[in-house]
Structure 1
Amino acid sequence: MTSAAKNTIIGLHHIAIRAIDFENTLSFYTSLGFTTSHSWSLPEFNLKRAAMLRSPDGHGFIELYDANADIPAQGRKHTENEEFVQTALLHICLTVTDADQAFEQALAAGAIPCLATMELQLGTDGMWVRNSLVYSPNGEVIEFLERADFH
C-alpha cells in the first residue's frame, strides 16, 4: 500500500441502522446522550425519515433510517414478529467512563440485557478491558467499553 493510499481514510464516521420504530429508536439513542445533528428525507429512496445522531464526545455518529427505506443494506429486511437474523454488523461499540452505569442507563431507556459488566483479558500481553452489552429496543447489540488502550 502506498503512503498516499494510507492517508485516504481519515477515520470512522458513522454506523447506519434501520429503525423498526423510528421515534422509539431516536428516543433511545438521545436518552444515551446522542443529539440530532441533521434530519432529512429522500423520496427517491423511499426514505421518509433519516437522522444523523452525534455521539456525546462529538467524534462519531449513528445514522438512523426509517423501516421502509430502500437503501443498500446487509442481509434482508426484518419482518414483523421475526427473530433477528445475524448480518455482518455484530455490534455498535460506545466508549464509556463506567460500563455498569451505561448498562443501567440503557436498561432504563428500554434496552434488554445481553451481558452484564465483565472484565476480559484480550490476548496474553496483559490487555484488560471492562465492558457490558445490551440489545437496543430496535434489536442492535450495543457494547459499552470503558476506555481501553488499543495501540
Structure 2
Amino acid sequence: MSNNIIGFHHFAIKAQDFERTVQFYETLNFEVVHSWSLPEFNLEKCVMMKNKAFDCHIEICDSNANFPTQGRRRKQGDPYVENSLLHICFTVIDAKKAYEEAIENGAKPLSAKETLELRNLQKATTVSNSLVYSPNGEVIEFLEAVVF
C-alpha cells in the first residue's frame, strides 16, 4: 500500500448558479483563496475555497466549463441525473443546527437529524447526521463527530 496519499484536498463541482453556490459554501465557513479562468476549457470563472476551521477545499467551476466529467451535461429543466458523487460530508458538532442553518441559507431539506446504528460482525457504531441538497444540487451530509 502506497503512503503517497496523505489526506483529502478538495472536491470539484460545476455550479448551475455560480454566485449562489459560492455564497452558500461561504455560509458553511469556506472562503475563496484563489480564483481563475481558463479560456481553453471555456472556463470563465473558477474558485478554490478553503474551510477556515480545517484543511478542506472545494473547487467551484461555472456551468460552461468544458472539463472531463462523469455522466452527461444537465440541460435546462432536466430532472435529476444520478452520477458517481453520492454526497459531500462535513463533520459537525450539532447535525440538527447545521441542517437548519443550511436550510436558512438556501439548501433544500433531504433528511432532518437522525441517529443510525451502523453494524458489522465486529461492532456497531452509532452515528447522528442530517442531509440537505445544496442550492446547486449536491447532497451534503452533516455528521456529528464519530470514531469508526
TM-score, normalised on structure 2?
0.95
Counterpart in the other structure of 1:97 = 93
| d(CA) in 2 for partners of 1:72, 1:11 | 23
Cα offset, 1:57, TM superposition: 2.3
Counterpart in the other structure of 1:126 = 124
Cα offset, 1:126, TM superposition: 2.7
Q: What RMSD over aligned residues (CA atoms) do the two structures have, in Å?
A: 1.0
**103, 106, 115: which one aligns with 1:110:** 106
Q: How many residues align?
A: 146
- Give the secondary-structure state (helix, strand or coil) at the position aligned to 1:74: coil
| Runs of 5+ unmatched residues, structure 1 | none
| Runs of 5+ unmatched residues, structure 2 | none
Cα offset, 1:48, TM superposition: 0.4
Q: Is the 8 A contact 2:41 2:66 kept in 1?
A: yes
TM-score, normalised on structure 1?
0.93
**46, 50, 53: which one aligns with 1:50:** 46
| d(CA) in 1 for partners of 2:52, 2:130 | 18
Cα offset, 1:58, TM superposition: 2.7
* Identity rate, percent: 51
| d(CA) in 1 for partners of 2:51, 2:126 | 24
- Give the secondary-structure state (helix, strand or coil) at the position aligned to 2:103: helix
| d(CA) in 2 for partners of 1:55, 1:116 | 23
